[in-house]
């Protein structure tokens, strides 16, 4: 059964042209079905360079393109986001934090709708701080929770607080977990992900420019998070889950942990170690895409 993108906005039907400003794309200047109609998998992550590395990796894994091929940035007309495509896979950067990924997702979801894409799977691949896990562990998010451990995304719209669900696709999480077992290269868990509005105080760090709490209070908070099921902390998953839910898109979040926050706040691993850690979500999601396409 074809599952198309659901747009929760009746106003778009009245528009003669839809300009996706932050992508430097528009329905009046680009043929969306021709450019993107075959997309089935969308992978999003914070860094443009990481998303370019991912498209190069997945192209090699799927046997598409030629070795050493340079993939052009589809959004080269803007410096806000970067977008790359090979075969049925789209790779898009989203910047850092809820506001940045929210803007990107509004335009990405409209892009997929205008392209008449169906049966789309969107996966956020990224980095995070772990709680009670060895650095390098990969967390597949069960549900995103806020800084009070509630599975919700709260936003003020027209002066009123709107609360939206942040559950993610349970079957997709299980499929990804099975893929990790088949790869057998790194520790992977399914757990809750805490999404915060800030990297420092919002995540209970002691090393920011401002900190008015002590180490004991910090550790008590992080242990409460762990006891509630939280296994990692990042800054995008709540709005990602909420918007994918509203659009009827199957979605997952797969993040590697760069440190165990119960043991410190600063990321001290070497550059080479961090690069290898950051490749783990790519390997897992790449394997999942290959398996989904019958190429494993």
Task: Spell out the domain ranges in the chain.
Answer: 12-293
CATH number of 12-293: 3.40.50.1580
Residue 145 has which token pair? 């929770």
Residue 83 has which token pair? 């977008």
pLDDT value at position 65?
Answer: 82
pLDDT value at position 18?
Answer: 98
Q: Binding site residues for phosphate, as ranges? A: 80, 124-127
pLDDT value at position 79?
Answer: 94
pLDDT value at position 220?
Answer: 98
Which of 258, 156, 122 lies closest to 203, judged by CA?
258
Q: What is the largest CA-CA distance in the chain?
A: 58
34-62: pLDDT as tens digits = 999 999 999 999 999 999 999 999 999 99
Q: What is the pTM of this model?
A: 0.97
Residues of the chain with pLDDT under 50: none
pLDDT value at position 2?
Answer: 87
pLDDT value at position 68?
Answer: 79
Q: Binding site residues, as ranges? A: 80, 124-127, 203, 205
189-242: pLDDT as tens digits = 999 999 999 999 999 999 999 999 999 999 999 999 999 999 999 999 999 999
Q: Binding site residues for substrate, as ranges? A: 203, 205
Cβ-based neighbours of 146, under 8 Å, separated by 6 or more: 152, 153, 154, 194, 195, 196, 238
């Amino acid at each position: 059964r074809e599952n198309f993108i659901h747009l929760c906005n009746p106003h778009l039907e009245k528009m003669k042209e839809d300009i996706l400003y932050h992508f430097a794309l528009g329905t009046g200047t680009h043929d969306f079905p021709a450019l993107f109609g075959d997309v089935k998998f969308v992978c999003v992550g914070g860094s443009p360079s990481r998303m370019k590395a991912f498209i190069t990796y997945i192209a090699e894994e799927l046997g598409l393109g030629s070795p050493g091929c340079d993939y052009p940035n589809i959004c080269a007309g803007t410096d806000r986001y970067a977008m790359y495509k090979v075969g049925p896979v789209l790779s898009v950067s989203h910047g850092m934090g809820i506001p940045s990924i929210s803007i990107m997702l509004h335009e990405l979801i409209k892009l997929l709708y205008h392209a008449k894409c169906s049966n789309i799977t969107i996966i956020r691949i990224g980095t995070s701080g772990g709680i009670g896990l060895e650095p390098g562990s990969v967390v597949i998010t069960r549900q995103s929770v806020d800084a009070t451990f509630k599975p919700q995304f709260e936003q003020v719209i027209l002066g009123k607080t709107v609360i939206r669900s942040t559950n993610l696709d349970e079957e997709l999480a299980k499929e990804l977990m099975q893929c990790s077992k088949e790869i057998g290269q790194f520790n992977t868990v399914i757990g809750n992900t805490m999404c915060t509005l800030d990297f420092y105080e919002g995540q209970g760090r002691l090393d920011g420019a401002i900190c008015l709490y002590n180490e004991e209070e910090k550790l008590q908070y992080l242990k409460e998070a762990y006891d509630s099921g939280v296994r990692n902390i990042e800054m995008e998953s709540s709005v990602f889950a909420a918007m994918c839910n509203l659009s009827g898109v199957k979605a997952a979040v797969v993040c590697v942990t760069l440190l165990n926050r119960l043991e410190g706040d600063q990321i001290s691993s070497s550059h080479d170690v961090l690069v290898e850690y950051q490749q783990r979500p790519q390997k897992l999601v790449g394997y999942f895409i290959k398996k989904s396409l019958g190429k494993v």
